[in-house]
Amino acid sequence: MCRVLVPVGYGLNCDDETIYAFKMVGADVKKIFLKDLIKDPQRLDDYQILAMIGGFSYGDHIAAGKVLANIYKYEIGETIQRFISDGKLIFGECNGFQALVKAGILPGLNGDYHTQCATLTYNDSGVFEDRWVKLKINPKSNCVFTKNIEELYLPVRHGEGKFIVEKKAVLEKLKEKNLIVLQYADMETLKPTMKYPQNPNGSIGSIAGICDCTGRVFGKMPHATAYLSPYNHPSWTRLKVEGSLPKEGGGVQIFRNAVEYVKNNLT
């Protein structure tokens, strides 16, 4: 059985849909109050997937995901390192992704999972925005979550989602190693774009999500958990008329991939 742990509390808020997403594809999912995890980080060892969900941890005060990042870095840092080296999976969405990057866990270049080399900052628009975006998936990426997916249509819901790197070399490396998993893309051509609003925040390299070299630690801004039913699509009534309404929500495959990976490799 694939076991997923979802830390909650302190303003995190996508717990319901994340739990449902993993349950849909057959995982056994448990919530844990963040403070309980800090008190006893070893509880993580019983699980194969850590789901870092969206929300406003600590109100996003100081900077989005910053205080949470410090917790992952200092309070449970060692357990996280062990979790990764044990071949397990980390899934970060929105606030979870911000925390992963600010804790230095992503992109984890050269096996260094505690030095921050990128960040997610204020959208160029200056405001929080909820809008659906087209995402191109890097076919060369070894990300286990996006296997067999070519493109996605998902909502972003954030005010601080602009991906920036510390120096050019980081971006080069991300490209070279195929760590850029998701890119904001043009609706029609599916080419990565810098144009607003298709690129909703001004992220460099149109980056919407990245993974580490193992492909097992994955974070992204758009919410796969917001598209678990075909009827979550913002214009499903049009797809229905066109006869192209899918059987399941476009986000589900991401969770299925993760659970399949665990079943095939970790149990």
Partner 1 sequence: MVYRIEVGFKPNIVDSSGERTKTDIYNFLGIKVDQVRTRRVYTLDIELNLEELEKVKRELFVDPVIEEVSSRLPSFNWYIEVGYKPGVTDNVGKTARKAIQELLKRRFKESEKVYTSIQYLIKSAKLSFIEIEKIGKELLSNEIIESLTILSYREVLEKGLNIPIPIVIGKQESRVKEYDLRVSDEELTQISRKGVLALTLDEMKIIKNYFYDKEITEQRREKGLSRNPTDVELETLAQTWSEHCKHKIFNALIHYRDGETEEEIDSLFQTYIRKFTEEIMEDVPWLISIFVDNAGVIKLNDTLNIVAKVETHNAPSAIEPYGGAMTGIVGINRDPLGTGIGAKLMFNVFTYCFGSPFYKSENSTQFLHPRRIREGVHRGIIDGGNQSGIPLVIGREIFDKRFGEAKPLVYCGTFGIMPKEINGYPSHIKTINPGDLIVMVGGRIGKDGIHGATFSSEELHRGSPVQAVQIGDPITQKMMSEFILEARDLGMYRCITDNGAGGLASSIGEMARYSGGCEIELENAPLKYQGLHPWEILLSEAQERMTLAVDHTQIEQFLELAKKRDVGATILGKFTDSGKFHVKYNDKTVGYLDMKFLHEGVPKKRLRAVWKKPIHEEPKFDEAIDLTIILEEMLARLNICSIEKKLRQYDHEVKGLSIIKLLVGKEEDVPSDATVCLVEYGSIEGIIFANGLNPHYSDVDTYHMAASAIDEGVRRVIAVGGKLPSEKIPFAALDNFCWPDPEQSEKTPDGCYKLAQLVRANKALYDYSKAFMLPFISGKDSMKCDSVIDGKKVSIPPSLLITVIAKMEDIRKAVTMDVKKIGDIVYIVGETFNELGGSEYYKLIGEKMKGVGYVGNNVPIVDAEKAKEIYRSMSEATDRCLVHSIHTPTKGGLGVALAKSAFAGGYGLNVSLSKVPYSGARRNDVVLFSESNSRFVVTVPMNMKEEFELVMRGNICTEVGIVIDEQRLKIRGLDGGYIINSDINRLKEVWKRTLEDV
- The residues binding partner 1 (CB under 8 A) are 8-11, 13-14, 16-17, 20, 24, 33, 35-36, 54-56, 58-63, 66-67, 70-71, 74-75, 102, 116-119, 121-132, 155, 157, 164-166, 223, 225-229, 231-232, 234-235, 237-238, 241
Please say whether the beta carbons of 156 and 189 come within 8 A: no
Residue 85 or 131 having the CB closest to partner 1? 131
Q: Between 110 and 115, name the residue whose CB sits nearer to partner 1.
A: 115
The single-letter code of the amino acid at 231 is Y
How far apart are the C-alpha atoms of 127 and 201, rounded to whole Å? 9
Show the DSSP H helices in 25-167 as ranges. Answer: 34-39, 66-70, 77-85, 95-102
- Distance of closest approach, residue 142 Cβ to partner 1, in angstroms: 25
Contact between residue 54 and residue 14 where contact means Cβ atoms under 8 Å apart: yes
**What is the closest distance, in whole angstroms, from the C-beta atom of residue 88 to partner 1 in the complex?**
25
Residue among 126 and 139 whose Cβ is closer to partner 1: 126
**Shortest reach from residue 218's CB to partner 1, in Å:** 19
Spell out the residues 6+ positions from residue 172 whose beta carbon is closer than 8 angstroms to its own: none
- Provide the minimum distance between the beta carbon of 87 and partner 1 in the complex, in angstroms, as a whole number: 29
Q: How far is the CB of 123 from partner 1 (least distance, A)?
A: 7
**For residues 132 and 145, which CB has a smaller minimum distance to partner 1 in the complex?**
132
Cα(9)–Cα(23) distance, rounded to whole angstroms? 20
What is the spatial distance between Cα 102 and Cα 177, in angstroms, rounded to a whole number?
A: 20
